[in-house]
């Protein structure tokens, strides 16, 4: 399986989730390639079996500009995108929580629901990431 993890993170929470996903996949024997949005040169999502796209949510549920630029740069809607995001329910409650991740999953017609993590994934939410990843991998294998 060829996997790309693309993410944007300002204060480190989304990066922590990305790193957790990378470590988990490595333990499963899967090699991961990385794309730091706004920094690295873009690879074509079509070259991968799965692309994990991670973002935080910005003011009033907004998708960060760098992620919007990434979407434009990709230029089409790959069918292999799975979305993860971090957010904070203090900014607008459940309605706006990780709204950017939800919007991206909808935009790409992701065949698996977005993973939504409150702030840092450390602690009890690690379990949530693992369960989500098991689901994503099983789902991907069933379509392979
Ligand atoms: C100005 C500002 C606005 C935010 N608005 C939202 C929001 O509407 N919804 C949400 O879920 N989180 C919101 N957040 C929380 C961030 O998405 C959250 O802290 C996230 O984990 C940051 O990711 P990062 O550490 O990868 O940069 C906001 C944070 C800031 C500073």
Global pTM?
0.97
- Ligand 1 touching residue 63 (CB < 6 A): no
Contact assessment for residue 20 and residue 126, using Cβ atoms and an 8 Å cutoff: yes
The tens-digit pLDDT sequence of the chain (144 residues) is 999 999 999 999 999 999 999 999 999 999 999 999 999 999 999 999 999 999 999 999 999 999 999 999 999 999 999 999 999 999 999 999 999 999 999 999 998 999 999 999 999 999 999 999 999 999 988 876
Q: Is 38 left (phi over 0), alpha (psi -120 to 50) or beta?
A: left
Q: What is the pLDDT of residue 144?
A: 65
Pocket of ligand 1 contains residue 88 by CB under 6 Å: yes
Query: Would you state the torsion angle of the CA atoms of residues 48, 50, 51, 55, taken in this order, to the nearest 10 degrees?
Result: -170
Q: Which fold has domain 2-142?
A: Rossmann fold (3.40.50)
Ligand 1 atom closest to 92 (CA): 8
Specify the residue for token string 């079996």: 49
So what's the pLDDT on residue 48?
Answer: 97
Q: What is the pLDDT of residue 142?
A: 84
> Quick one: tokens of 22?
């990378």
């Amino acid at each position: 399986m060829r996997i790309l993890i693309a993410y944007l993170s300002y204060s480190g929470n989304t990066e922590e989730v990305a790193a957790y996903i990378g470590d988990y996949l490595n333990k499963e024997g899967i090699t991961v390639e990385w794309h730091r949005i706004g920094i690295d040169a873009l690879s074509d999502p079509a070259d991968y079996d799965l692309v994990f796209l991670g973002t935080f949510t910005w003011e009033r549920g907004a998708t960060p500009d760098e992620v919007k630029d990434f979407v434009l740069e990709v230029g089409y809607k790959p069918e292999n995108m799975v979305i993860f995001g971090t957010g904070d329910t203090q900014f607008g409650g459940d309605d706006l929580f990780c709204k950017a991740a939800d919007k991206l999953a909808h935009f790409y017609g992701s065949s698996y629901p977005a993973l939504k993590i409150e702030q840092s994934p450390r602690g009890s939410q690690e379990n949530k990431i693992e369960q989500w990843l098991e689901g994503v991998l099983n789902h991907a294998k069933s379509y392979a």
